[in-house]
Every structure is written in C-alpha cells, then in structure tokens.
C-alpha cells in the first residue's frame, strides 16, 4: 500500500495500491499491442484528444492545484501556476510537433523527396516530485502527439498527482493501454526500465540519470532523454537593491527545489559585493514560510519530506565541516520537520563538493575580478542554468560566450525559462536532449524517402558497365 504524506502536517492525504513489479512486463506488452493503432491514427485526431485533455485540466485546476499543494507542500499560488503550465504545454507541443517533427516534401526530377517522422514506440516516463504534474506532462504530451504509447511512473512522493494526470488523459479519450499509470518506487522503476521499452524520458537527480546511462549502455535502440539537476552559478555584478530580488527568487523559490535554482552566488570582493550580500541577507530573512493553506500566503513551503530535510541538513553540515561560514544559517522551523529556513554560506576559498543541494541553500563566492567570476561559474561538472546580474552589455556578451550551460539568463532569475524554447543542460545536467519545445526531437525519429509513382528505369545510368 502506498501513501502520500502532506509534508506540512505529516498527515496521509492519499493511499492506494502499488503496481506489482512482476506485472509491468505485461503492461509494456499491452502498450506495444496498442502502438500501431495509436500511431496510425491521424495526427489531427491525436491533437484533438490532447486539446480535450487541456480543457479538462482547465476545468479541474483548483482541485488538482490543491492536491499538488497538499502533496508537495508548495504554496497554492505556485501550484496554480503549475497547472497553467500544464495546460499551455499542449498548444506549445502541437506547434513543436509541426515544426520539428512534421512532414515535408520537395519535387525532384524522378518524383519527390519526403521527410517524415515516426514514433519510437513504447516510452517510459519517470516523473519528479518538485513539479509532479508539469515536468512529466512535458514528456507525455509530445510523446503521445508523436504516436508513442506511454507508461508513466510518478514519483513515489507524488502518486496522487499521477492519478489526476492519468484520469484527465483517459477522460479526454486517450485509450487505456495507450497511456498507463505505474505506481510505486525503486522496484517499479527498475522493472520498467528493464522491460521491453523503446524510450526512457526522465527528469530528476544526476545520480539517477547516471544509473540510467549505465543501464542502457548495451541498449542503444532505447531513446534516453535526461533532464537532470545543476550546481547553478549566478554572478551579481551590479546594483545591490535590484539584484537582491532576482537572487532571492533564483535561490529560494519552491524552497530551493527547482533544478534551475541558483546554488552558487558569485560577487566581487569589497564594498560592492558586501552591499549585494547584505541586501540578499535582509530579503531572505524576511521571506514568509508556511503551509499552502496558511491565511498569510507564504513565499515557500516545506521541503518534500522530513527525509529530504535531513539530507539537506547533512549536506550543509559537510559544508560547515569544510570551512563554510554561515551568514544566514540553515535551520528547521518549529512546525513539521520538513520546514526549513533559507540559508546563505560563505564558501570563498573553501573546497566544497560539486553537488546539488536540493534545498534553499545558497553558497557565496567572492572573487577579485570578472575573469575570476566566470572561472568560478564554470567550476562545476554540471551545466543546466547560469545567470548574470549586470547592466554592462559587454559583461553579458563575455558571460554568454564563455559560460557552459543550457539556460543562460541576463538580469533575470536562473529559474526563468520559456515553454517555446528548449530546456536542458550538459555535463551531469543532461545528455544533450533538452526538453520543453525540443521534446518533439526525442519523441520521434526522422525518416527520409526518395519516392516515385512508378518504377524508374535506371538502365541508362548503368551505361556501358554491363557485361
């Protein structure tokens, strides 16, 4: 029996049966049997069903947003935004399908040259807990539009959201075996990736992504699309008051549980850098922390679980043991044990691990000049997002040219991303298959054809080369 726990209260909000791991190969077989009928269905019919799905999400926004808030601890204002992103993803994915995975033809001297795209087949989607609706939805919608069948395992921390998503798709008319829900944790995930699938689409931790790469090393036919975490840098090289809000948004939104959150703040040594740090400290210390249904709307809620809070506390303890100096200490609140405070630690000249602390913990690095700032920003094996806060366009041009990340923002939070652009990174942050608008690329493969209505006589091309 699975349970979903409200991290703000510790109360059970949902319980249901896990999918038996031994039942998963049969589910994959059902998906494969349903594949041809779904893939051969006219695209406009698949489009209509997904548009109906978007309408259902719109009708159910308040109910689903409330349940995501209860399940994840996120404030209701944020989960309503998540539903808006899920709804908007359908139209964006339809446009991307047409642009990046559509059909085109050109006349030739013998007939025509045609480009088409075909679905990979049976796709497994593994979802995260931080955006348990929006992020898997960003894989599922383009996969279904392309003609794939899908098995979706939501995070074991967010099974109720997975139930909502499955119900909406089925109520929209997506056939039962075309989209199937797999509930469970590590055992179910292992059974799913070990089954006869054609693609694995995953958003989550870098360590898990590395495990999947190893698992697929002898299965090159399996499309592997990984959107992983980041140890993201944000350089602040300008006005302290204007920079502070962008830094706080970058580091602490969603209680630091976004893969694109700023983890490392890089500032100049001296008066300018001190002013930035002081402004950030003042603003971060004033952030309202609370449950999703508190009368005073919070900026951030708890972490996803008490276990996640303990892992973050252990990671911060390792920073302090290495020599990090607390400017704003990381602490638990006197509520449920999943509630924590935003934190800032000065790690200048301290050797700290190059890891993602998935919590509201910002590491401060002071540098003597902009060359050192860029070097510090790139001193990571990750490459998801990066940002620069500076009014000088010349600094931006340098940063854009020399930074290594898939999302590089200027005078905006590192967490900002557009649905009609790609989203993903390099290094430990992904495998060069960005999601969002570019999800269409990994949900279908191109087929190039030369075509003629009748057999073309090529004997003239053989000329005198015949015996």
261 assigned to active site:
no
Q: Could you tell me the two tokens for 29?
A: 């077989």
| Alpha-carbon span 130 to 202, nearest angstrom | 13
| Alpha-carbon span 265 to 342, nearest angstrom | 14
| Alpha-carbon span 69 to 14, nearest angstrom | 13
The upper half-sphere exposure of residue 242, i.e. CA atoms within 13 Å in the direction of its Cβ, equals 9
CB atoms within 10 A of CB 31: 26
| Alpha-carbon span 358 to 282, nearest angstrom | 22
82 assigned to active site:
no
Which residue in the list 78, 82, 156, 227 is annotated as catalytic?
A: 227
Which residue in the list 156, 259, 261, 443 is annotated as catalytic?
A: 259
Residue 5: in which H helix or E strand, if any? strand 2-5
Residue with tokens 């809070």: 309
3-state DSSP assignment of residue 70? helix
3-state DSSP assignment of residue 2? strand
Provide the sign of the torsion angle of the four alpha carbons 178, 92, 253, 164, taken in this order.
Answer: negative
| Alpha-carbon span 382 to 406, nearest angstrom | 10
Q: Could you tell me the two tokens for 326?
A: 């607390």
Provide the sign of the torsion angle of the four alpha carbons 342, 428, 86, 67, taken in this order.
Answer: negative
Query: How would you write 426-450 as a 3-class SS string?
Result: CHHHECCCCEECCHHHHHEEEEEEE
For the annotated catalytic residues, the residue numbers are 227, 259
């Amino acid at each position: 029996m699975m349970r979903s726990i409200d991290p703000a209260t510790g109360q059970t909000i949902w319980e249901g049966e896990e999918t038996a791991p031994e039942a998963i190969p049969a589910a994959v077989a059902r998906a494969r049997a349903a594949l041809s009928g779904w893939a051969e269905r006219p695209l406009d019919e698949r489009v209509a069903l997904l548009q109906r799905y978007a309408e259902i999400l719109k009708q159910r926004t308040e109910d689903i947003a409330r349940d995501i808030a209860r399940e994840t601890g996120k404030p209701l204002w944020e989960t309503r935004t998540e539903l808006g992103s899920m709804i908007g993803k359908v139209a964006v994915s339809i446009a991307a399908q047409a642009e990046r995975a559509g059909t085109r033809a050109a006349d030739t001297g013998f007939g025509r040259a045609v480009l088409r795209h075909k679905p990979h087949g049976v796709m497994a989607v593994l979802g995260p807990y931080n955006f348990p609706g929006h992020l898997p939805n960003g894989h599922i919608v383009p996969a279904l539009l392309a003609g794939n069948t899908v098995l979706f395992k939501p995070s074991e921390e967010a099974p109720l959201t997975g139930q909502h998503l499955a119900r909406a798709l089925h109520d929209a008319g997506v056939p039962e075996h075309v989209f199937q829900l797999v509930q469970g944790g590590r055992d179910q995930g292992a059974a799913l990736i070990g089954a006869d699938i054609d693609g694995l689409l995953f958003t989550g931790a870098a360590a898990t992504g590395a495990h999947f790469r190893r698992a697929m090393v002898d299965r090159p036919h399996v499309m592997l699309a990984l959107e992983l975490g980041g140890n993201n840098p944000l350089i602040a090289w300008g006005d302290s008051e204007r920079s502070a809000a962008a830094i706080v948004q970058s580091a602490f939104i969603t209680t630091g549980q976004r893969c694109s959150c700023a983890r490392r703040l890089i500032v100049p040594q001296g008066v300018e850098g001190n002013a930035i740090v002081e402004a950030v400290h003042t603003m971060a210390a004033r952030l309202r922390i609370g449950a999703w249904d508190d009368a005073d709307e919070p900026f951030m809620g708890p972490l996803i679980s008490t276990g996640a809070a303990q892992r973050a506390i252990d990671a911060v303890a390792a920073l302090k043991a290495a020599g990090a100096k607390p400017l704003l200490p990381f602490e638990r609140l006197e509520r449920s044990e999943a509630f924590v405070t935003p934190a800032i630690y000065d790690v200048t000249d301290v050797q700290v691990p190059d890891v993602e602390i998935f919590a509201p913990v910002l590491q401060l690095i002071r540098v003597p000049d902009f060359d050192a700032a860029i070097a510090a920003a790139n001193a990571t094996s990750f490459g998801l997002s990066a940002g620069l806060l500076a009014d000088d366009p010349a600094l931006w041009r340098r940063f854009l040219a020399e930074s290594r990340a898939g999302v590089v923002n200027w005078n905006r939070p590192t967490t900002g991303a557009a649905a009609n652009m790609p989203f993903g990174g390099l290094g430990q942050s992904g495998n060069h298959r960005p999601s969002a608008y570019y999800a269409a690329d990994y949900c279908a493969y191109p087929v190039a054809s030369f075509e003629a209505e009748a057999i073309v006589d090529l004997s003239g091309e053989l000329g005198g080369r015949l015996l």
